[in-house]
Amino acid sequence: MKQTLGSIASNVEVMSGVYVMWIEAPHVAAAAQPGQFVTVRCKDFTLRRPFSIHQSSPLTGEDSGEGEIAILFRVAGKGTFWLSQRQAGEKIDILGPLGKGFTIRPESKNLLLVAGGIGIAPLVLMMQQVSSQHQVTLIQGAGTAAQLYLDSRQLTAISHQRAQVVPVTEDGSMGRKGTATDILSDFLNWADQVYACGPIDMYKTMALPLNPSPLKGEGKGEGEKRSNLKLKECQVSLEVRMGCGFGACYGCTINTRKGLRRVCHDGPVFELDDIIWQQVKI
Ligand SMILES: Cc1cc2nc3c(=O)[nH]c(=O)nc-3n(C[C@H](O)[C@H](O)[C@H](O)COP(=O)(O)OP(=O)(O)OC[C@H]3O[C@@H](n4cnc5c(N)ncnc54)[C@H](O)[C@@H]3O)c2cc1C
């Protein structure tokens, strides 16, 4: 982990209220693992704001300069609003890479990624880094088509042939109608491991026995025929409120089945089954 004053290479609104900011940070770009995060000093606020590492330039090809990372952020309050106003060329104070990211068993071939809303952020880096050696399917859930971040053209730019995106929208304006968790059961037979990032309610649903998919069509499994399925081998990234971001203040401690854990230091990635979901609050 290192603190850097990096230049902002670009800061672009990619969807309403959602920005991609590229920042010069060579050591973070070189070391970043999917699921890790950086904290950013926003204005003069005491608490730094955490953001997943969304992409890193050594792996994105010719479009980006070397030694940069990207964060994908939604304007949620005063810190992210301040960030959204920053311009290319300005300096920004970032600390990272922080935390423990996603892990893959060596024998796993088929990886299922599940993104709810802005939870797509760390899963794009995951796709970049693993899709040359693994079959990757990303279920991308959002409220409407306008809130879906990745289309197939962008997917081709960031990943390899063996990746596919399955869009799901709550209003049915693109892809399947419903939520990302509605179609999970379709992929259970296929997936060796599952990786998720999204709201706490999405994880709470995933931790319960899954119902067979009410949606038919593109699924790779036989979800329609099964019931009371449990997700196994599922890792989730927890976005709880943080203090210091590197394990010193214990402000983000949660109670897990393995004892007390600091989300910033022991996570933010945890096994779905290790979390006592009733006790987790943002
Ligand atoms: C490990 C980690 C990775 C994250 N990655 C991303 C990311 O890639 N993209 C992204 O947009 N956001 C991400 N977040 C959430 C992001 O840190 C918060 O949205 C941000 O700190 C809000 O700052 P603010 O000053 O704009 O909001 P504030 O003014 O502090 O709060 C505004 C609203 O945002 C909510 N909020 C504050 N902190 C969090 C939080 N940690 N998680 C969820 N809601 C919060 C508050 O409850 C409040 O409703 C991540 C959080 C963590 C812990």
What residues does 253 pair with on adjacent strands?
Answer: 262
110-237 CATH pick, 3.20.20.70, 3.40.50.12280, 3.40.50.80, 3.90.1150.10: 3.40.50.80
What is the Å distance from ligand 1's center to 173 Cα? 27
Q: For domain 2-98, which CATH number applies: 3.40.920.10, 2.60.120.1440, 2.40.30.10, 2.60.40.10?
A: 2.40.30.10
Report CA 33 to chain centroid distance, whole Å.
12
Judge whether 69 and 28 are in contact, CB under 8 Å: yes
Ligand 1 atom 30: the closest Cα is on which residue? 77
Which ligand 1 atom lies nearest to the CA of residue 51?
5
pTM for the full predicted model: 0.90
Q: How confident is the model at residue 280 (pLDDT cuts 50, 70, 90)?
A: confident
Residue 54 alpha carbon, nearest atom of ligand 1: 8
pLDDT digits 0-9 by tens, 120-139: 999 999 998 888 889 999 99
Which of 80, 84, 200, 281, when mutated, tests ligand 1's pocket best, judged by the most ligand atoms within 8 Å of its CB? 80
Whether 72 lines ligand 1, by a CB cut-off of 6 Å, is: yes
DSSP 231-253: --SEEEE-----SSSSSSS-TTE
Summarised one tens digit per residue, pLDDT across range 19-62 is 999 999 999 999 999 999 999 999 999 999 999 999 998 644 44
**CB-based burial of residue 105 (10 Å sphere; 0-12 exposed, 13-18 middle, 19+ buried)?**
exposed
pLDDT band of residue 224 (cuts 50, 70, 90) is very low
Kindly report, residue by residue over 67-82, the tens digit of the pLDDT: 999 999 999 999 999 9
